[in-house]
Chain A
Amino acid sequence: MRVRKRLKTIDAIKGWSLSGGYLVYTAIFWGYPFVWLVILALSKWNYFTPRKFIWFDNFIELFQDEMFWRVFFNTFNFMLYFIPMVLGLSLLFALGLKRVKLFRTFFILAFLVANVSSGVAYSIIFQKLFAINGPLNGLTRAIFGITIPWFSSPQLATLSIAIMVTWKFIGYYGLILFSGLQAIPESLYEAAELDGAGKMTKFFRITLPLINPSIVMVLVLSLTLTFGIFTEPFLITGGGPMRTTYTFQMLIYTTAFQKINPGYASTLAIVVALLSYGCVLLTRKLVEREVEIV
């Protein structure tokens, strides 16, 4: 009895000193910034002169800020290109993978290697590949005699960045969908075939409903990603042309570190996080279905 009690005390001491270290670190590098985030969002400040509480003025200003709405519109514009493209293509990739038996690992690696490309390096590569005098335009000029201003025309620039990000994420999202497909028992398809179901019926009545969790996962990941985009437009277009590729992250960055307005930037960060959650919740509500494979 006594030994057990002593062991318990020793466990408690060890446990608390190890997790105590974690808690102290977290208090400094997570808790402290967290509190500051809230304080800053309610303040006007320029890092140097004394801070001034202005309560919700930042939030009120934000909803009247033309730039905020511009970026808001840009973000949804980007989603309109990006999400159907990335979801459709990664679904195709997953379905293709499911059908092939040979070289499967090669295909997976070929697509997944894009996912480990460095943000800076791949932005530079696509900037050069899609440049007016770059290889891609060299090709279209030789075949169709046209030059496409990928990054310098307002609508195209958003599409071009969506294409880049799609290139990067198809492998990852495709694998998520692929493992969803793998979980569907073959017997379901066989039973459906006996009942005379065609290809379309099988796809829409069995495949799509049963990979619903994977689809929701891909949607949630790509939505969160959309709100976090920074490197690509920052390096390639600088937010242009005509501010059409300006993202929320760029707005937070320039507000905090170029316009020296950390209060407003923190307000922006909070609103962007809430928007991102809102989109995720809405998507789950609209798309998520209970799935059970018996």
Chain B
Amino acid sequence: MKKVPTIILYVFLFAASILWIYPYVWMLLSSFKPTNEIYSGFLPSQFTLDNYRFILEAADKMERPFIQALGNSIFISVTVTLGVLVSSALVGFALSRLNFKGKNAIFNFIIFQMIFPGFLFIVPLYVLIKNLGLIDTRTALILPSLVSAWGVFMFTQSFRAVPNEYLEAARMDGANDLWIITKVLVPLTSSTVSIVGLFTFIGIWDNFMWPLIVVSDYSKMPLSVLLASFNMQYGSYLGPVLAGSVLQTMPMVLIFLVFRKYFLQGISMSLK
């Protein structure tokens, strides 16, 4: 049996990598082209910012306030991410570092919760949000995701792995619980913290079905839903649609590239 020459393997992998990145490159280049050039030619013959100008200014008059939506998306994703991190750290601390009756039962319940897929809850959660009078508010997009069973699970697991000596030393120096969480436990488990934060942020940023259901007011929509509705109604404005897609994609890709180390750790962690 002969081995495939390594050089062919490299050529093949490079070709495949380019093919895999191609949709992104096409999107990015096309968003700087005049609309009539998008389907012809690869590089823009002239570099234009018209599509972005259109989406940030003109689209506002078409009832599609993209800047507002971008702000909404950032606000919602950041709030939820902070909420999940803080709540997971506090509850994770209690379940891993405090001794009290029933904590194992609570931990088992959290694992039990994770068995149920999210789509089971969409309809009844809508009923709840409706009863609370929160339809068409940003709160409806934030509140149901503020605490995450998965986040608590991840934090509890990694806090447990921190050796007791660190905590005792800190207590000796008179540290209180809050100090121990923020200055001892969190820094020692920074990869878990980043993974939970990143996956939560991206999950909320990218969420489509839930905001589609609870928000119909254009000014309260996150970018994902506003972009989809713009594409459905004004799909022929190809350039602006692609500029909007760049706007929606770039934060996720940038975060991915900056925190790539943690992503890789996150994937290998989910294997255990």
Chain A positions near chain B (C-beta within 8 angstroms) = 8, 11-12, 14-16, 18-19, 21-23, 25-26, 28-30, 32-37, 40, 47, 93, 96-97, 99-100, 102-103, 106-114, 116-122, 124-126, 128-129, 133-135, 138, 167, 170-172, 175-176, 179, 198-200, 214, 217, 224, 227-228, 230-231, 235, 249, 252-253, 256-257, 262, 265-266, 269-270, 272-273, 276
Contact = CB atoms under 8 A, between A and B. Distances in A.
Contacts of A15: 94-95, 98-100, 103
B94 A18 contact: yes
Interface string B187-221: 00000000000000010011011000100000000
A121 B267 CA distance: 23
Contacts of B94: 14-15, 18-19
A11 B245 contact: no
B249 to A, nearest CB: 5
Nearest to A123: B228
B20 A111 contact: yes
Nearest to B246: A121
Interface of B: 1, 6, 9-10, 12-14, 16-18, 20-21, 23-24, 26-27, 38-40, 87, 90-91, 93-95, 98-103, 106, 113, 116-117, 119-128, 130, 143-144, 146-147, 149, 152, 177, 202, 205-206, 208-209, 213, 224-225, 227-228, 231-232, 238, 241-242, 245-246, 248-249, 252-253, 255-257, 260, 263-264, 267-268, 271
Contacts of A21: 87, 90-91
Contacts of A34: 116, 121, 124
- The prevalent SS among residues of A at the interface is helix
A39 B224 CA distance: 32
B249 A121 contact: yes
A113 B98 contact: no
A93 B260 CA distance: 19
A11 B98 contact: yes
A118 B126 CA distance: 24
Nearest to B42: A135
A135 B213 contact: no
20 contacts: A14-B94, A14-B98, A15-B94, A33-B127, A47-B127, A100-B13, A112-B263, A113-B21, A120-B228, A122-B249, A124-B241, A124-B242, A125-B245, A128-B242, A228-B119, A230-B209, A257-B213, A266-B123, A269-B123, A273-B116
Given A109-B260, A257-B213, 8 more contacts: A11-B100, A15-B95, A22-B87, A34-B124, A135-B39, A176-B271, A214-B271, A273-B117
